[in-house]
Amino acid sequence: MTRHTHLSDGNLVEQTLAGDNAAFRALVERHSAAVFNTAYRLLGNRADAADTAQDTFLRAYRALNTFRTDAPLKPWLCRIAANVALNRLKRRKPTVSLDDHPAGSEPLAIPDFSAEPQRTLLRAERDRALRQAILALPPDQRTIIELRHFQELSYAEIADTLKISVANVKVKLFRARKALRRYLQKEINV
Amino acid sequence: MTNSSICTGKEETIFQYLDDELSPAERTAFKQHLAQCETCRHLLAETEMFFADFSALENVPTPTAEISAGVMAQLPSRTTHSLERWLPVAQLTIGLALLALSLPKVWNGLAWTFSLPEWTFPAAWWLSLVQRFNLPAGWLIRWSEQVFAHTTAFSVLNISPTMAFTVIAILGTAWLVSNSLLLNPKQSHTFKNGGSL
C-alpha cells in the first residue's frame, strides 16, 4: 500500500500534473483491469491487449491536462482503450466468419471461478461463447457492442465517439446484436 | 396483437426500449403493445437474458505489473505539460491587461488620432500574438484605423470613433474570455477526437 492508495482519481491526476509520476503509477494500477479487459474483449489476445493498455495509459498521460478532475476517470480511459483497440483492429487483416476461430485471437482466457462446479462450467461456457461471438464481428460492430454494453454509452455518445451518425449507430448495433444472438443460440442454445 | 409475423419488426424496438432510447411517446405506445402481445413479451424476456450475459461477463486476470512497468518506463517529461496547463491563464491575463490599457485611450478620444503606422493599439498586438484571430482582426483594426484617421466625418457608419473602438474592445474582451475560459476545446473531458488520441 502506497501513500497514494487512499487518494481519489482527481487528486492523483492533479499530483501527476504537478510532476509526481508515482501518482500516475497509482492510477495505472487502479485502472489497469478495466483498460486491459476493454482491450481484451475487442482484441481477444492477451499480448495485444497488454500493448493496447500501455498505449492507452501513455496517451492518457499526454492528454491529462485536458481531463476535468471532477469527471470520472475510468470511462475516459476505457473510451481511449476502445479507440486504440479499434485502430489496431483496422490495421489487422479482416476477421473470419462466426464459424471459425477469429483472426488474431488466441484460446480465450477463462476467469478463475469459485466453487460450484456446475455453475462455473455453465458460466464459463457462456462467457467463452460470448467473447468468441464478439470477436467474430466486424471491428466497427465489435466496438459499438463494447461501447454500448460494457461502457454503457448512449447512442448519441457512441456516435460522438466514433464520429458516425446516431442512425448509423442504430443500424450497426442492431446488426451486431442479431449476429451475436444467432451465434449464441447456435452455440449454447440460449 | 399476438401474431409473431406482425411483431417481426419489433426486435429493434425492444433493443431500443431496453437501451432507454425510445422517445416518451414511442415508449408509451410500445408498453401498450406489450400489454396485449405475448410474442413481444416473450421476446423482451429473451432479450433481457441476452443483455444480462454482457453484464455477467467476468474480467480475465490482468497483468497489472507488466502494464505498469511498461508505462512507467515510457513516460515523457511532465514539465512541458505543466507549462501548457498555465498557458491559457497567462494568455487570458495578458490579453485582458492589454485590452484594459486600450480602453482609457479609447475613452479619452485618442482613437481619433490613430493612423496606420501607429501600431500602438495594444489589442492589435494581442490579437496578432495569439495567432488565432490575427488576420481578420488585424485587417479590421488596420482598416478601421485608416478610415478613422483619414475620415473627418464618420458618415459611412454614422458612429463616433470612440464608440467604434469601444465596441471593438468589448467584442475583443468577450472573445478572449469565451475562447480562453468557456470554449477552449482542451477543457472538455469528453473524448471528442475519436481515434486520434
Q: What is the tens place of the pLDDT at every residue in B110-141?
A: 444 444 444 455 555 555 554 444 455 556 66
Between positions 22 and 61 of A, the ones with CB within 8 A of B are 24-25, 28-29, 32-33, 35-37, 40-41, 46, 50, 53-54, 57-59, 61
Complex ipTM > 0.85: no
What is the C-alpha separation between A56 and A28, in angstroms, rounded?
Answer: 10
pLDDT of amino acid B15: 94
What is the C-alpha separation between A55 and A45, in angstroms, rounded?
Answer: 15
Of the candidates B64, B67, B195, the beta carbon closest to that of A87 is on B195
- Please state, rounded to an integer, the average pLDDT across all residues of chain B: 68
**Chain A residues within an 8 Å CB radius of B59:** 33, 37, 111
Assign 3-class secondary structure to chain B. CCCCCCCCCHHHHHHHHHCCCCCHHHHHHHHHHHHHCHHHHHHHHHHHHHHHHHHHCCCCCCCHHHHHHHHHHHCCCCHHHHHHHHHHHHHHHHHHHHHHHHHHHHHCCHHHHCCCCCCCCHHHHHHHHCCCCHHHHHHHHHHHHHHHHHCCCCCCCCCCHHHHHHHHHHHHHHHHHHHHHHCCHHHCCCCCCHHHC
Of the candidates B12, B46, B82, the beta carbon closest to that of A174 is on B12
Nearest CA in chain A to B78: A19
- Residue A187: Cβ within 10 Å count: 16
**Chain A residues within an 8 Å CB radius of B189:** 66-68, 71, 76
Instruction: Read off the pLDDT band of A187 (50, 70, 90).
Output: confident
**Chain A residues within an 8 Å CB radius of B182:** none
What is the C-alpha separation between B110 and B169, in angstroms, rounded?
Answer: 14
String of b and e for A24-33 (b: at least 16 CB within 10 Å)? bbbbbbbbbb
Q: Is A123 on the interface with B (CB under 8 A)?
A: yes
Tens digits of per-residue pLDDT, B145-168? 666 655 554 455 566 656 666 677
Instruction: Read off the pLDDT band of A121 (50, 70, 90).
Output: confident
- Residue A141: Cβ within 10 Å count: 20
Nearest 5°: CA angle at B116, between B112 and B121? Answer: 65
CA distance, residue B111 to nearest chain A CA (Å): 40
> DSSP assignment, residue A25?
H
CA distance readout (Å), A12 to A61, A64, A109, A131 = 12, 11, 32, 33
CA distance, residue A30 to nearest chain B CA (Å): 9
Q: Is A182 on the interface with B (CB under 8 A)?
A: no
CA distance, residue A118 to nearest chain B CA (Å): 16
Q: Do B60 and A50 touch (CB under 8 A)?
A: no
Reduced to 3 states, what is the DSSP secondary structure of residue A187? helix
Nearest CA in chain A to B191: A161
Cell of A185: 443460440
Helix H or strand E segment including A38: helix A21-43
CA distance, residue A64 to nearest chain B CA (Å): 9
pLDDT along chain B (197 residues), means of 10: 57 92 93 91 92 90 94 76 65 72 57 44 54 52 62 54 67 68 42 36
CA distance, residue A58 to nearest chain B CA (Å): 6
Cβ atoms B18, B50 nearer than 8 A: no
**Chain A residues within an 8 Å CB radius of B52:** none
pLDDT of amino acid A29: 95
What is the C-alpha separation between A136 and A88, in angstroms, rounded?
Answer: 15
